[in-house]
Structure 1
Amino acid sequence: MSLHSESGPPPGDAGGAPPPADEPTRIPLKIEDWLTVAIMAALALITFANVLVRYFTNSSFAWTEEFSVFLMILLTLVAGSAAVARDRHIRIEYFAENGSLARRKRLARFGAAMVALLFALIAVLSARMVWDDWRFEETSPGIGVPQWWYSIWLPIVSLGIALRAVGLCIRRGRTSS
């Protein structure tokens, strides 16, 4: 029995059943979904453009690798936010799904609280890193743009993940079945 109602396909079934519906949240989960789509589209476009340029000119855009790495990191963080909000983050099912309902509820809240604490800490520490990047005028190694253009997103998205985890903790506190 699961604390949250997931009704995916039975083991061995290759699909056919629709994915479980998302729980209602105050901030729509479509934000992460659309950011994921936009980031993936940008990655595909710059990679395709670089392939075309390399094929026709035997050279490549210098900025594509640096920007692609940044977008992949941002994509990972945005997807992490969606996973936390949907309660699909990594856990050890043996501990998370066994025991009484009260125990599962406590573990779910504890897990969400720890995720919130971790990402709040990452947000604070990475904000200090952004400040240093700006203050010391650090530039990116590939194309020489200010490093804070890339690093500013870590505290912002980390704070978003922390807030999503707080929301999950509150929702798990209300779960009655």
Structure 2
Amino acid sequence: MDSSSTDISTHPASAPTEPGPRVPLQLEDWASVLIMATLALITFANVFVRYLTDSSFAWTEEISIFLLVVLTMNAGASACVRHLHIRIEVFADAGTQRRQRRLALFGIGMSLLFFIGLAVLSGRMALDEFEWGDTSPSIGVPTWWYSMWLPILSTTLSLRLLGMWMRRWRAKS
């Protein structure tokens, strides 16, 4: 992993006066690497066992879905801070610096509201699963063990977005 992959100022869409994030992006990068490696190992083990025994590990799908959700939220935070998230560049990069800044603030603000809402609603879902004692179908562990990570990761992503919004707000251009 080279240093240019974590420098947000190399992307043309990033504001030239915007400072980088305080929390290093390598945290998300390494978490993504570890999650992808774990997914590959679990999938390989399942295919290998299925090939040799004509049966599969029932738990691999459950763990894989959980890891993919964690990977999605983790990579979403990294993409947002690096300004690599999906947007309509014809509108976002056109016009004056003032217009671009306002659109960026609006876009970051809407994303922030979405992830705050996701954190609240998924937190309520995890709490319901905890109170009702739901268990997973293949392993039989409480489902809140999986669902509690969605509000945690949504909150983490919200904090990244809040930091982006504040840096963009403070930027002079």
Query: TM over 0.5: same fold?
Result: yes
Q: Structure 1: which 5+ runs fail to align?
A: 1-17
1:148 aligned onto 2:114: no
How far is the alpha carbon of 1:62 from its aligned partner?
Answer: 1.1
Which structure is higher in helix share?
2
SS at match of 1:121: helix
- Structure possessing the higher relative contact order (Cα contacts under 8 Å, 6 or more residues apart): 2
| Corresponding residue of 1:22 | 8
| Corresponding residue of 2:12 | none
Q: Output the CA distance in 1 between the equivalents of 2:160 and 2:98.
A: 22
How far is the alpha carbon of 1:141 from its aligned partner?
Answer: 2.3
**Per-residue deviation, residues 108-158 of structure 1 (Å, max 9, x unmatched):** 111111111110111011111110000000111232210001101100000
Q: Cα RMSD between the aligned structures?
A: 1.5
Q: TM-score, normalised by structure 2?
A: 0.87
How far is the alpha carbon of 1:54 from its aligned partner?
Answer: 1.3
Q: Which runs of 4+ in 1 moved over 6 A?
A: none
State which of 20, 33, 36 in structure 1 corresponds to 2:32.
Answer: 36
Q: TM-score, normalised by structure 1?
A: 0.85
State which of 51, 54, 60 in structure 1 corresponds to 2:50.
Answer: 54
| Corresponding residue of 2:79 | 83
Map 1:112-123 onto structure 2 (within 5 A): 112-123=108-119
**Per-residue deviation, residues 22-61 of structure 1 (Å, max 9, x unmatched):** 2521111111111100110110011111111112222111
CA contact (8 A) 1:53 1:59 kept: yes
Q: Structure 2: which 5+ runs fail to align?
A: 10-19
State which of 61, 67, 70 in structure 2 corresponds to 1:65.
Answer: 61
Q: Output the CA distance in 2 between the equivalents of 1:141 and 1:166.
A: 37
| Corresponding residue of 1:133 | 129
